[in-house]
Amino acid sequence: MTEIAERLYYGFFYLPTGIYALIVSVLVALCSSLLGVTLVLKRFSFIGDGLSHVAFGAMAVAAVVGLTNQMFIAMPVTIICAVLLLKAGGRAKIRGDASVALISVGALAVGYLLMNLFPSSASGSISADVCSTLFGSYALVTLTGAEVWLCVVLSVVAITLFILFYNKIFAVTFDENFAVATGIKANLYNLITAILIAVVIVLAMRLVGSLLISALIIFPAISAMRVFKTFKSVTLCSAILSVICTAFGVLLSVVIDTPVGPTIVCVDIIVFFAFWLIGSLKGGKAK
Amino acid sequence: MALLTCKNLSVGYDGVAVASGISFSLFSGDYLAVIGENGAGKTTVMKTVLGLIKQISGEIETGDGLKRNEIGYLPQQTAVQRDFPASVWEVVLSGRLSKIGLRPFYDKEEKRLAEDMLEELNIAHLKKRPYHELSGGQQQRVLLARALLATRKVLLLDEPVAGLDPIVTTEMYETIENLNKKGTSVIMITHDIAAAKKYANKILYIGANVFFGSKEEFIKSSDGKIFGSAGRNKK
């Protein structure tokens, strides 16, 4: 017991970076779970996956160009792709799922190629670079004060927008035709959703890496939907689950010395099975 | 003056017309039944009227103080997802959304209106139930409540009784008839010719020919005979 406490203290709470990492993780988890509910219900789960690969490609380009803060390239590129993908979803010549696959695989390949052609001078090892971009860094992310503030501000903006537009997001997600027919600007809310998703993905990239972002977005929503049946309760449960799982995952990774991203995702998976079990027991009783 | 007038409307997707030459007008208090075979473009016409898709040619005009977004809409049942987590209360309240503008949440007055609507349609006891666990007839009532909260002027129903059992079907028709008597103009897309003849005062037939006129004119016309007998043969 004391050993765990010591590990947590020296590996984590001793330095401000540990606290920063925890704050950022929790905020990112909160944002992604809120959006996850809408994405899952709109059958857009795969868009998160596609966009995270786009972010990977953009990060690679930023690294090659030698930008210190890679977010400045990754953020706009991902936002543009998110908007294009959500627009294409309905009526494009190339079907929505196919265009996501095209863009995501394309970005992944180009990103990896660039990293090989122009190895960054800092780390020297390409596979380490790629690995940490895909699966998140092995140790806790070391963030500077400015990065933490950027994350905090963007997360707070995302959460505020979600709360302000909660009722509109519900209506557009539940029945877009009805919303449009009664004069709701569904396209505007779809656009806001797309931008929020892109922002969350770029933020989450540092935490869990681009391959595992989808897990952060989808697992809490799916778990919550096993047990809860109203939009409000699913949203709340998803947010709470995501925050708890992520915080627990971060601390656990320090104690048992595992990579942060996959640890969080494993906690999410375990919780999913627990909720799935509760859901089927509950459903069985009702019948 | 007519609430809604369509002149020589041609509708479809990506410039390809599904139905054309459609003209009709809806006056206050009308009960218009839209009939025609599967694939004749009934739903496409109505989506165009609602402004969900653009017409290829022709005109849609509203009058008598009606705005385009003041048409309540009851979609075909398949349009709403099966496993969507939403309570009856959340669904019904969302009918009020277009009225709250930039305000993020519903106020007491809007919630009271929604409560009254649940009472009026006899679904107050379902308020907290998840929408997707309800029976077909109950779901239709919930969607009807939502549409009526959006507007009481014009109600557009797309096959409101599809998949419902006979008793619930009759109840649904009676509910719609009552609403019509209270002053809501109704446009109903249906396969049920008998119901169209029983409840509607005007009929729009979309098919090889387009017919629009009163119910009596329709019964006399050739389309009426052809369609009426085809309907009977099926049963």
pLDDT, position B198: 86
Domain holding B212: CATH number?
3.40.50.300
pLDDT, position A266: 93
Distances in Å between the alpha carbon of A231 and those of A38, A191, B45, B152? 10, 21, 32, 27
Residue A212 burial by CB count (10 A; 0-12/13-18/19+): exposed, middle or buried?
buried
B95 contact residues in A (CB cutoff 8 A) = 182
Residues of A at the B interface, defined by Cβ within 8 angstroms: 41, 163-168, 170-171, 174-175, 177-184, 225, 228-234
Distances in Å between the alpha carbon of A259 and those of A11, A30, A264, A275, B12? 13, 21, 9, 25, 54
Do residues B188 and B214 share a domain? Answer: yes
- Mean pLDDT, residues A140-155 taken together: 77
In terms of pTM, does the model score above 0.90?
no
B97 contact residues in A (CB cutoff 8 A) = 167-168, 171, 179, 182, 184
- Helix A260-286 to helix A213-227 angle (10° resolution) is 20
Do residues B90 and B51 share a domain? Answer: no
Whether B72 is in a domain gets the answer no
Taking an 8 Å cut-off on Cβ atoms, the answer to whether B86 and A230 are in contact is yes
Residues of B at the A interface, defined by Cβ within 8 angstroms: 47, 50-52, 67-69, 71-73, 75, 79-81, 83-87, 90-91, 93-95, 97-98, 100, 104-106, 128, 130, 132-133, 146-147, 150-151
pLDDT, position A286: 42
- Using alpha carbons, select from B82, B91, B178, B97 the residue that is nearest to residue B128: B91
Kindly report, residue by residue over B13-53, the tens digit of the pLDDT: 888 888 888 888 888 889 999 988 877 888 888 888 888 88
pLDDT greater than 60 at residue B235: no
Mutation choice for B interface testing from A162, A163, A182, A223 by most B CBs within 10 A? A182
Domain count, chain B: 2
Do residues B158 and B147 share a domain? Answer: no
Confidence band of B233 (pLDDT split at 50, 70, 90): very low
Query: Which chain A residue has its CA at the smallest distance from B46's CA?
Result: A181
Domain count, chain A: 1
Kindly report, residue by residue over A158-195, the tens digit of the pLDDT: 899 999 989 988 988 888 888 888 888 888 888 888 88
A177 contact residues in B (CB cutoff 8 A) = 47, 50, 52, 73, 75, 79
Phi, psi angle pair for B59, to nearest 5°: -125, 145
pLDDT greater than 90 at residue A231: yes
A179 contact residues in B (CB cutoff 8 A) = 94, 97
- Mean pLDDT, residues A25-48 taken together: 86
Bridge partners (DSSP) of residue B10 are B57
Torsion from C-alpha of B54, B60, B62, B68, nearest 10 degrees: -10
Whether A250 is in a domain gets the answer yes
Taking an 8 Å cut-off on Cβ atoms, the answer to whether B85 and A225 are in contact is yes
Confidence band of A142 (pLDDT split at 50, 70, 90): low
- Mean pLDDT, residues A52-80 taken together: 81
Instruction: Tell me the residue range of the domain where B27 lies.
Output: 1-66+154-167+184-235
Separation of alpha carbons A218 and A6, rounded Å: 34
Whether A69 is in a domain gets the answer yes
Do residues B233 and B160 share a domain? Answer: yes
Asked if A34 contacts A169 with a C-beta cutoff of 8 angstroms, the reply is no
Helix (H, G, I), strand (E, B) or coil at A221: helix
